[in-house]
Amino acid sequence: MRKVLILVIALSFIFSSVSISQDLKDDEIKRQFNLAVNLYNAGSHYQAQSIFKKIIYDNELNSRTTSSYFFSSKIYLEQERYDEAESLITKFLESYPSSSYADEIRMMYVKLNFQQEDYYEALSELSFLIDRTKSEDYVALGKNIGEKIAYYYLNSSKLKQLYDSFTGNIIKPFLLLLLGKAYCKEGELVDAKKSLSELIKNYSSSEEYSKAVDYYGSLPDQSVPNSSAILIGVILPLQRNSAGQITSTASLEILEGIKFALSEFNLGREEKIGLLLRDTKNDIDEIKKIKNEFENNSSIKIILGPVFSNEVRATLNEFIDVNIPIISPNATDDDLTTLSDNFFQANPSFSKRGRIM
């Protein structure tokens, strides 16, 4: 009995010592953390960073681990050390997705991408935040920032790509509204109405529903002919995949450039210039169909495309009797300008380049 009592007392002492030791360690971590915060507030970021990193890496998970991640990421971002910031933010989100700091850390990720001018990734992170957060404040903040990024920095192609990558019922209507507005800004009113109609039909309980109804009602009626409307016809080999995404890098870059230039031109103008895009599919029969459509549309004042000389040649042969100027951004064959008085090359032919050199 005496041995048992001694053993109980010994074990109690050991556990008590461990508990006291742990309490002392926690107190020291808290003291070091408070010191680091004071250093940060005083502008001594390098000294503060050193302490935050020790709390993260030299100790097991403790009451100041996640908050140290937050401050450490913030310092890297302020110092424009983007690789270290991204690495730390990514590790935090993978390790502590349910942390109370998760939303704030994700907003840092948005800022990181924005400062590096990766606007697509910035809006993608915002969309993820809007879709997952339980905070109404972060939803409102995310939508406010996201709307500005979409309006000033992204075209409809990028927004469509982003929309297709999400499935959540909170973020989908928001992205559809942004997409509809982008189409409208680019003069593609048919696609704008299609996006808004999808929102109105499928997301009637969403925050964006009433906005979509109002915006749809403000768009001009495309069924009423407008003799003064101006359209730019664009014909490119888009090479769409099974998901409908454009896989031709050259065509996508040209199309995005056209859309960006047009949206800048239309900004603040009442009478906007529209865009009519058609895919040649690298097929002469498709070019014939496009020719029949374009020659009967008096609103089309100019045609941009195709990209490559062989398609340009086929297009010029088909459009020989259509009095619309055609500009190819890339075609370089020497004889193309002799095939039509309405054809112009944005790129000099190889022989002209050779003479210049």
DSSP 288-336: HHHHHHHHT-TTEEEEE--SSHHHHHHHHHHTTT----EEESS---TTH
For the chain, list the domains and their CATH numbers.
229-357 (3.40.50.2300)
Read off the pLDDT band of 85 (50, 70, 90): very high
Q: pLDDT tens across 333-346, in order?
A: 878 888 999 999 87
Q: Please state the rounded mean pLDDT for residues 179-194.
A: 88
Largest CA distance in the chain: 114
Q: Please state the rounded mean pLDDT for residues 40-69.
A: 91
Q: Around Cβ 325, how many Cβ atoms within 10 Å?
A: 13
DSSP 66-123: HHHHHHHHHHHHHTT-HHHHHHHHHHHHHH-TTSTTHHHHHHHHHHHHHHTT-HHHHH
Query: 18-32, 41-55, 85-99 — which is least confidently predicted?
Result: 18-32
Per-residue model confidence (pLDDT) at position 264: 83
Per-residue model confidence (pLDDT) at position 159: 96
Q: Please state the rounded mean pLDDT for residues 266-274.
A: 80
Q: Please state the rounded mean pLDDT for residues 162-175.
A: 95
Per-residue model confidence (pLDDT) at position 17: 41
Per-residue model confidence (pLDDT) at position 1: 57
**Angle at CA of residue 49, ends 98 and 104, nearest 5°:** 30
Q: Please state the rounded mean pLDDT for residues 217-236.
A: 69
Per-residue model confidence (pLDDT) at position 114: 96
Q: pLDDT tens across 193-225, in order?
A: 999 999 999 999 999 998 998 888 777 655 434
Buried b / exposed e along 114-127 (16+ C-beta atoms within 10 A): beeeebebbbbbbb
76 touches 53 (CB < 8 A): no
Per-residue model confidence (pLDDT) at position 276: 85
Query: 213-227, 244-258, 319-333 — which is least confidently predicted?
Result: 213-227
Q: Which residue has the higher pLDDT, 7 or 42?
A: 42
Q: Which residue has the higher pLDDT, 351 or 46?
A: 46
Residue 356 has pLDDT above 60, yes or no: no
Residue 65 has pLDDT above 80, yes or no: yes
The Cα 242–Cα 17 span in angstroms is 66
Per-residue model confidence (pLDDT) at position 16: 45
Per-residue model confidence (pLDDT) at position 353: 46
The Cα 46–Cα 57 span in angstroms is 16
Residue 40 has pLDDT above 80, yes or no: yes
The Cα 16–Cα 8 span in angstroms is 12
233 touches 276 (CB < 8 A): yes
Read off the pLDDT band of 112 (50, 70, 90): very high
The Cα 210–Cα 217 span in angstroms is 11
Residue 24 has pLDDT above 50, yes or no: no
Q: Which residue has the higher pLDDT, 120 or 186?
A: 120
Per-residue model confidence (pLDDT) at position 321: 93
Per-residue model confidence (pLDDT) at position 244: 65
Listed residue (24, 95, 107, 42) closest to 66, CA to CA:
95
Per-residue model confidence (pLDDT) at position 18: 39
Q: Around Cβ 192, how many Cβ atoms within 10 Å?
A: 23
The Cα 52–Cα 158 span in angstroms is 38
Sole residue written with tokens 């003064």: 228
Per-residue model confidence (pLDDT) at position 277: 87
Q: Please state the rounded mean pLDDT for residues 36-43.
A: 92
Per-residue model confidence (pLDDT) at position 225: 42
**Percentage of the chain modeled with pLDDT above 90:** 56
Residue 323 has pLDDT above 70, yes or no: yes
Q: Please state the rounded mean pLDDT for residues 125-138.
A: 95
- Rounded to the nearest integer, the mean pLDDT of the chain is 85
Q: How far is CA 301 from CA 31, 48, 232, 312, 323, in A?
A: 72, 62, 6, 18, 9
Read off the pLDDT band of 275 (50, 70, 90): confident
Read off the pLDDT band of 4 (50, 70, 90): low
